[in-house]
Amino acid sequence: MHSSTSSSNDDVYIRMLPDAANWRRILSCTIAVTIVGIGCTEYYARSQNYPVLFETSPDLWATQWFRFEAAEDDQTVIVGASRNKFGVLIDLWEEETGTRPIMLAWPASSPLPVLNLISERESYRGTIICGIAPSFSFASPENPQQRWIHDNLKTMEILRFSLSYYISTPVRRFLKHRLLSLNTCAFSPIFNLRDGLQLENRKGTRVPMQPVFWANQREDLQDDYLESAASDEHIMEQIREMWRRIMLEQVFFGAAKMDQLVAEYVQAVRKIEEKGGRVIFVRHPSSDDFLDFEQKHYPRQLFFDRLVNETGCFGIHFEDYPEISNYKCPEWSHLTPDDARDYTQKIIKIISKHTPDAI
C-alpha cells in the first residue's frame, strides 16, 4: 500500500525547539526582575502613603454577611447605600458605644433586600441602622443599579459552599495588608492612563461608569476619601459627572411603586420587631445638585416621611437637626473623613437621646 504522504522533502516542516540549556539563567533573571519591580512599586506605595484597598466585589460583601451570621443575636448592623459607608465610622462607633457594628451597606443599593434577609434570621434582636439615600432606596426595580445588591446575595449563597473562596479569602487578606503595591486602583495601567490623559467626554454621549481613584474601601466595607481627593477639583468633577449620569438614569426609570414598596418595608420591620430587634431610618446628608435632585424627584413627605410614619420606626432626617444639617459634600453625596467623624458622634448622641436601648 502506498502512503499518501508526499515524498518531497520540501513539504516537510521541522520546528526547531529552543535551546533549554540556559533555562536556569532565564528563570533567575525573571525572578530577579519581578522582585525588583515589586520592590520599587512597594517602596513608592509606602512613600506615598497609599492605603490598603479592597476592591468592590460581591465576595467582600459576602464575607461581612458571614461575620453577621456568626455574630451575637443583638449585633448592630448598618445597611443601605454608600453614604453609610462614608458617613458612619464603625471604628468610632465602637469607641463611643463599646459595640462594633457590621457594615452591610453597598454602593447605589436599596436597604430592603438586606432588611428582608435579616428579618428571616430566627433570633435576631439587634439594631439596624438603615441608611436612606432617596433615589436609591426608593428606586424602581428596573433601575440597573438595583441589581448590584441582589448580585451580592446570589454570590453569597454560592460562596457558602465554595472551597476556593475559603482558601483565597485569608490569602488575599494576608497579602493585602502586607503589600501596598496590591492597591490595584493606584497601580492599574488603565486607571493611571485614563487619569493622566484626562480625556473629555464627547458631547451627547452617556458618561461611562468608570470610577477614578478617589476613595478607599477597607476590608470591613468602610469607605473614606483619599487624603487629597476632596481638594482636587478635577477628581471631584469626574465623580460629579458620574452622579449626573446616575440621576439621568433614575429619572428615566422613575421611582418604585410606593404602596408596594412601603408594604414590603413594613413587613420586614414587623418581623424584626417581633423578635426584639429595631430599625432606625437615617437620611444622611447630601448637598448641591444631588440634594436638589432628591428634593425635586423624591420629596421627603412622599418618601422618607411616609416610610417612617407607616413603619412606626424612629427616623433621623439630617434637615431636622441643626447639628447635622450643614455639611458640605465635595462631590455632592458623601461626607469627608473629618465631617464623618463629627457626624457619627452626633448621630450616636441623637439615637441615645431618643432610643437609648438601641446603643
Domain end marker among 48, 66, 90 = 48
The enclosing domain of 336 has a CATH number of: 3.40.50
pLDDT at residue 166, rounded to an integer: 96
pLDDT tens digits, residue range 72-96?
Answer: 999 999 999 999 999 999 999 999 9
38-52, 87-101, 284-298, 303-317: segment of lowest average pLDDT? 38-52
pLDDT at residue 10, rounded to an integer: 63
Asked whether residue 99 falls in the same domain as residue 185, the answer is yes
- pLDDT-derived band at 49 (thresholds 50, 70, 90) equals confident
pLDDT at residue 8, rounded to an integer: 52
Report yes or no on 1 lying in a domain: no
Asked whether residue 27 falls in the same domain as residue 154, the answer is no
Report yes or no on 38 lying in a domain: yes
Asked whether residue 29 falls in the same domain as residue 106, the answer is no
- Residue 209's domain comprises 58-358
Asked whether residue 222 falls in the same domain as residue 152, the answer is yes
- pLDDT-derived band at 177 (thresholds 50, 70, 90) equals very high
pLDDT at residue 196, rounded to an integer: 65
Q: Would you state the cell numbers that stand for residue 42, as one nine-digit string? A: 512597594
Is the model's pLDDT at 187 over the cut of 90?
no
pLDDT at residue 228, rounded to an integer: 86
Asked whether residue 141 falls in the same domain as residue 173, the answer is yes
Residue 178's alpha-carbon distances to 57, 166, 171, 203, 256, in angstroms, are 20, 20, 11, 44, 45
pLDDT at residue 195, rounded to an integer: 65
Total domains present in the chain: 2
pLDDT at residue 349, rounded to an integer: 97
Say if CB 275 and CB 124 are below 8 A apart: yes
List the end-to-end C-alpha distance of the chain, in Å, as a whole number.
92
Asked whether residue 349 falls in the same domain as residue 281, the answer is yes
Asked whether residue 29 falls in the same domain as residue 91, the answer is no
Instruction: Quote the CA–CA distance of 346 and 359 in Å, as a whole number.
Output: 13
Asked whether residue 324 falls in the same domain as residue 219, the answer is yes
Asked whether residue 215 falls in the same domain as residue 177, the answer is yes
Stretch 219-239: mean pLDDT, rounded? Answer: 92
Asked whether residue 124 falls in the same domain as residue 251, the answer is yes
pLDDT tens digits, residue range 86-131?
Answer: 999 999 999 999 999 999 999 999 999 999 999 999 999 999 999 9
pLDDT tens digits, residue range 193-219?
Answer: 766 666 676 776 666 666 678 999 999
pLDDT at residue 192, rounded to an integer: 67
Asked whether residue 159 falls in the same domain as residue 26, the answer is no
Q: Specify the DSSP class assigned to residue 7.
A: -
Compute the mean pLDDT over every residue in the chain, rounded to the nearest whole number.
Answer: 91
Produce one character per residue of 296-330: b if its CB has 16 or more CB atoms within 10 Å, e if not: ebbebeebbebbbeebebbbbbbeeeeebeebebb
pTM tops 0.95, yes or no: no
